[in-house]
Structures are given as C-alpha cells and as structure tokens.
Amino acid sequence: MYTAKENRYETMKYNRCGESGLLLPAVSLGLWHNFGDTSNYANMVELCTTAFDNGITHFDLANNYGPEAGAAEKNFGRILKEYLMPYRDEMIISTKAGYEMWPGPYGDHGSRKYLIASLNQSLKRMGLDYVDIFYHHRPDFDTPLEETMLALADIVRSGKALYVGLSNYDGERLAKVSKMLEDLHVPFIINQNRYNILDRNIEENGLKETAKKLGKGIICFSPLAQGMLTDRYFDGIPADSRVKTDGRFLKENQITKEAIEKLKKMNEIASGRGQTLAEMALSWCLKDDAITSVIIGASKVSQILDNIKAATNTVFTDEELKAIDSLIF
C-alpha cells in the first residue's frame, strides 16, 4: 500500500495562478507521453508517486493523450484508484478537449456537444466526479466563441470542473474570451501554451503580456523543446530517444551539427550556474512571475528528481540572459 512521504511539501515552490486563489507547483507532471498503453504500467506508477512524494501536486492530461487516445486518462485513473485516491484533495488534476477524439462531426473542435461529451468520457476513464481544471485545448475558428465559453461556464456550474483554462490561444483571442468568461462569472484562471528558450511565440503573439495584464496564470508545455534543451543529443541520436521512437514533434533534421554546437555552449552557461542544460531551461521559464508552472514529461524517475531542482534557482544575471539569447537559432 502506498503512503506518501510526510515531507513532500518542504522543498517544492508553489506559485499563485494569476490573481486566483489557486497555487500550483512550479513543476507539474504532464502525461502527454509515456502513459499510453505502449508504456510500462509499473513505471507509470513510480513516476506519479515519485512526483507526488516530491511536492508535484498537479497532473496534466488531455482526452487524446495515449496511444491510443484516452489511454493516459485510463491508466492515470487506475493509478488514482490503486495508489493516490486517498490524497485526491491534495491534488490538482487537469484535462482538455479540443483535438480529434472520436469519428464523426461531434468528436473535435469547440462545440458545446463535443466539450461536454468529452469531459464526461474523461471523468469516466479516470473514475472522478470532477477535475480541478478543464481546458479548451485549441481555438476553434468556426464555432462561435460564445458557444464554447458558455459550455465551459455550464461545465463549472455542473460541478464537473472547478476552474477552466485555455490552451494555444493568442493574446488577442485571450482578451476577447476573458471578458466573456468574466461576464459569465466563470473562474477562468490559466493559459497553457508552448514556451521555452527556443520558442518564444507567447511573447510575439501577445499572450504573455495579455495574461499578466488580465491576472491570468500561464503554464508552459514543452519547456525542454521536446528534449532538445538537454544533453541527450550531444553525442548523436539515441535509439530510444523521442526523435527515433516518435518523430512527430522533434525531427531528426532539427538535430544539426550547428544546433548541437550552440546547445553545448548553452550547456556551458548552465554549468556555470551549477545546473544541467535541462535544469537551466526550466529555470529560464520560471524566472518571470508571469509563468505559474512548467509541465515536464518523464520516462524515468531520475528525470523528475533532476527537473524539480529548477524551481530553486530561477534568478539570472543580465549577462547570462544575453549569452543565452546570443545562441538562439
């Protein structure tokens, strides 16, 4: 029987999510990869319990995480039932809907029909009555914004989600929907977007500035650029790497000699800070108080233990930031 460590809250930093009352751990665990039916269940259990034992209270999912779609929620539901359910009130569990989940016209995008049906399926897979945060996973430019936002409002009123979030929205669209949700009295508190040293799109599209102005949190996915911001590819491409086993989001043609040379120089900056490249990349995201949390993926317990160190060293000198920026490619 699993018993969580008593000192689990002593070292993790918790940040307020925008101007809401909710605190999130600086480092959250994402189940995008390594929790599908092709992964080892015992390892999934060890990843989740290690995360929780070290103060990671937030577990981030989506309806289509797998493979197959829905598998990550199903496996996490099993872990909850067998190990973590006694600690449910100490956990933040989030899921999303917005990408294709089932065949036909009602299994994708942002209609009321799809969002409510998808969340009902997600709750069933995880064995939960509610999630803490429910996201619209991506903008739908064909469905009226009012319909999508009213569906999120009704989901909260039904008790099936405590808060709502938006994922992959830009600053202009965020401003529009934030006013709608405010008028509907919906606790919209968080934006989830890709952000890392190599990808600063949320700065370019106004999301970061707008979220801060509106008092909304930001949680970053892919803070390590799908493994690019690690030392994993310094000596070639490992056979068990994501490039070889998946290849959808980090492709072999991105691992160029020039890119690796720049990453090695970036690693020297990290070493000067007493960090690995991965730790520095996470710290870089967390240096700004506009960022509430970073979502890490992990296939090994050691990766979780290494990554949580990033939350303790988020101060950069101007010289370090300029040196990092000079190596962007």
Q: List Cα–Cα distances, 90 to 23, 67, 186, 220, in angstroms.
A: 11, 28, 23, 22
**Tokens 């190990």, residue located:** 83
Residue 120 lies in a domain: yes
241 pLDDT tier (thresholds 50, 70, 90): low
Rounded CA separation 220/59 (Å): 13
**Tokens 């949700």, residue located:** 181
Give the pLDDT confidence score for residue 233 in this predicted structure.
82
Instruction: Domain of residue 129: give its range.
Output: 14-259+276-315
Give the mean pLDDT of 97-122: 98
Give how many domains the chain has, as a whole number.
1
Q: Which long-range contacts (CB under 8 A, 24 or more apart) does 315-324 make?
A: 315/287, 316/283, 316/284, 316/287, 320/269, 320/272, 320/273, 323/269, 324/197, 324/266, 324/269, 324/284
Model confidence pLDDT, tens digit, residues 5-40: 999 999 999 999 999 999 999 999 999 999 999 999
In terms of Cβ atoms closer than 10 Å to its own Cβ (0-12, 13-18, 19+), residue 205 is: middle
Give the pLDDT confidence score for residue 271 in this predicted structure.
97
Residue 29 lies in a domain: yes
Q: How many Cβ atoms sit within 10 Å of the Cβ of residue 158?
A: 12
Rounded CA separation 33/88 (Å): 22
Contact 193, 202 (CB under 8 A): yes
Residue 286 lies in a domain: yes
Give the mean pLDDT of 135-141: 97
Residue 321 lies in a domain: no
Provide the pairing of β-strand 131-136 with 161-167.
parallel
The answer to whether residue 244 scores a pLDDT higher than 60 is no
Residue 60 lies in a domain: yes
What does pTM read for this prediction? 0.95
The token duo for 144 is 């009226």
232 pLDDT tier (thresholds 50, 70, 90): confident
Residue 242 lies in a domain: yes
In terms of Cβ atoms closer than 10 Å to its own Cβ (0-12, 13-18, 19+), residue 14 is: middle
Backbone dihedral region of 249: left (phi > 0), alpha (psi from -120 to 50 degrees) or beta? Answer: alpha
SS3 content of the chain, % helix, strand, coil (to 5): 45, 15, 40
Q: List Cα–Cα distances, 137 to 64, 98, 197, 257, in angstroms.
A: 10, 4, 23, 35
235 pLDDT tier (thresholds 50, 70, 90): confident
Give the mean pLDDT of 116-133: 98
Residue 130 lies in a domain: yes
Residue 209 lies in a domain: yes
Nearest to 167 by CA among 224, 127, 110, 128: 110
DSSP designation for 199: B
Instruction: Identify the CATH number of the domain in which residue 158 sits.
Output: 3.20.20.100
Contact 161, 155 (CB under 8 A): yes
The answer to whether residue 163 scores a pLDDT higher than 60 is yes
The token duo for 108 is 């994708």
For the chain, how many residues are written?
A: 329
